[in-house]
């Protein structure tokens, strides 16, 4: 099913990204698996291949989750001084519990923002375009 481009409502990239929905129509799913993107939206046929966010979401999730987990680990070490085994049992599972859901949300958000801002790979402008 394909709709005319003028019939699409304005889709909030944050809302559509968090829900894993298409950034153009807001209804089709963008994920074929946990983090793998569909080739195209099943509702509006938007080609999702150019919107692949590569490792951008992983960087943001690593930074955010790392800040939280290291902060808790440092606080726990300073206040309680537990053994290394306690740290491993606490912080390794917490890292996965926080990072896995955030990866999907971050990837959906980056796909939505790339679509909204018309992000594309950098290209050198030709001399004809500058004149
Ligand atoms: Zn769509």
The pLDDT tens digits of the residues spanning 86-108 come to: 999 999 999 999 999 999 999 99
At residue 3, does pLDDT exceed 70?
no
Does residue 131 lie within any of the structural domains?
no
54 C-alpha to center of ligand 1: Å? 20
Does residue 124 lie within any of the structural domains?
no
pLDDT reported for residue 6: 58
At residue 33, does pLDDT exceed 80?
yes
50 C-alpha to center of ligand 1: Å? 14
* Predicted TM-score of the model (pTM): 0.80
**Domain of residue 107, residue span:** 13-119
98 C-alpha to center of ligand 1: Å? 28
Does residue 125 lie within any of the structural domains?
no
Does residue 31 lie within any of the structural domains?
yes
Contacts of residues 52-59 at CB distance under 8 Å and 24 or more positions apart, as own/partner, are: 52/111, 53/107, 53/110, 53/111, 53/114, 56/106, 56/110, 57/103, 57/106, 57/107, 57/109, 57/110, 58/103
Does residue 2 lie within any of the structural domains?
no
Number of folded domains that form the chain: 1
Does residue 49 lie within any of the structural domains?
yes
pLDDT reported for residue 123: 76
């Amino acid at each position: 099913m394909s709709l005319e481009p003028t019939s699409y409502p304005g889709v909030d990239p944050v809302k559509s990204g968090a829900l894993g929905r298409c950034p153009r129509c807001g209804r089709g799913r963008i994920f074929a698996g946990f983090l793998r993107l569909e080739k195209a939206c099943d509702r509006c046929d938007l080609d999702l291949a150019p919107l692949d966010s590569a490792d951008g979401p992983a960087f943001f999730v690593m930074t955010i989750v790392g800040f939280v987990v290291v902060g808790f680990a440092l606080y726990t070490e300073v206040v309680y001084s537990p053994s290394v085994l306690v740290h491993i049992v606490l912080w390794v599972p917490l890292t996965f519990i926080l990072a896995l859901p955030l990866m999907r949300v971050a990837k959906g958000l980056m796909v939505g923002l790339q679509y909204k801002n018309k992000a594309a790979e950098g290209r050198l402008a030709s001399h004809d375009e500058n004149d």
